Amino acid sequence: MNTGIVDLRSDTVTRPTSAMRAAMAAAEVGDDVLGDDPTVIRLQERIAEIMGKPAAVFVPSGSMANQAAIRAHTEPGDEVIAHRDSHIIHYETGAPAALSGVMIRPLDGPAGLFDAADVDGAVRPNNAHSPWSKLLVVENTHNRGGGSVWKMDRIERVAERARAHGLKSHLDGARVWNACIATGHAPAEYARHFDTVSCCFSKGLGAPVGSAVCGSRETITRVHRFRKMFGGAMRQAGILAAAALHALEHHRERMADDHANARRLAEGVGGIRGLSIPLPVETNMVFFDVEPALGTAAAVCERLSARGVWALATAPQRVRCVCHLDVDRAMIDRAIGEIAGTAAPSPGRSLAHA
């Protein structure tokens, strides 16, 4: 453990709690490739129940969850409609093209959001000249949108319009738990509008590994097949499933603390000269922009690292900080102080010259 480090790079950096480690050590296991790991079976049944879907499959990562779902819904030459800042475009190594042979039709919209009219405008005519529009993907919360939350009325409009066009729909719900904490909606209320939903156990929930895809039994049979094809089948995976089960039962409600810490961090950073908060803070993410007189975002992150605060530069002048299980209020206050300490203009320049 990095004693004294305030790690705000991502909510993926959490370490298993002692209670979670005990659950992992006590897990009953089998061979999940052969379908007889009892703890994996319990996890799949539990997450399907939470999402209000008939079936679920446990997968190693969020990227595999999304990509196996995309492959289950499409054939090569089809087109997927998604926001241009979606995780499936920026952070999954070109997998829609490489693994499913599909194109992406990117949509615009503030904070990673779009609406029904945008779906109408993106659906291709059904002729021999165009790819077939087959799948709509919604990301909630939206990472590059600042952890933005889709409100339920917008979800309903977009999902209804997708159905009217004959599209399948997938919810990239890696951080749907945060959306639920922010809105008060149960996960199943979001999931019921989509044919499949992916969710992550290793972000806000704090498990070390794993995601799931939920949907109809027929669709999950296809997802299971593509999990195997993509190399995601695991053997005694019950050790990991036990951590996810523990997280589901013990770590969901506490994410409200992460949201409160993010608001506190944004308030503190927003008051520092040369820094600004460009996106509303709705969940556990805080983005701040750096005036050029202070150097680049990467330079600011390097100075912060030397002070024991870790963050990520996501653009030349933008830094991302993510609150999570391993960061408490005192650490947030320390981070604010260290960020203020880095806000010194680069040699030879001043904010007045910016």
pLDDT in tens, 112-125: 999 999 999 999 99
pLDDT confidence of residue 198? 98
Tokens at residue 243, please?
């951590």
pLDDT confidence of residue 345? 56
Closest CA to 217 of 14, 7, 2, 44: 44
Q: Do the Cβ atoms of 32 and 234 come closer than 8 Å? A: yes
pLDDT confidence of residue 282? 98
pLDDT confidence of residue 137? 98
Q: How far is residue 92's CA from residue 139's CA, in Å, rounded to a whole number? A: 14
Which domains are seen in the chain, by residue range?
6-11+254-353 (3.90.1150.10), 31-249 (3.40.640.10)
Coil, strand or helix at 171: strand
Q: What is the DSSP letter of 148?
A: B
pLDDT confidence of residue 142? 98
Summarize pLDDT for 155-190 with one digit per residue, the tens: 999 999 999 999 999 999 999 999 999 999 999 999
pLDDT confidence of residue 349? 47
Residue reference for tokens 């990239």 = 172
3-state class percentages of the chain: helix first, strand second, coil last, to nearest 5: 45, 20, 40
pLDDT confidence of residue 1? 41
Measured between alpha carbons, how far apart are the two ends of the chain, in Å? Answer: 39
Q: How far is residue 112's CA from residue 135's CA, in Å, rounded to a whole number? A: 17
Burial class (CB in 10 A: 0-12, 13-18, 19+), 65: buried
Which is it for strands 78-83 and 132-139: parallel, antiparallel or unpaired?
Answer: parallel
pTM above 0.75, yes or no: yes
Which ranges of the chain have pLDDT less than 70? Answer: 1-3, 344-354
Q: How far is residue 151's CA from residue 53's CA, in Å, rounded to a whole number? A: 21
pLDDT confidence of residue 343? 84
pLDDT confidence of residue 344? 63
Summarize pLDDT for 207-219 with one digit per residue, the tens: 999 999 999 999 9
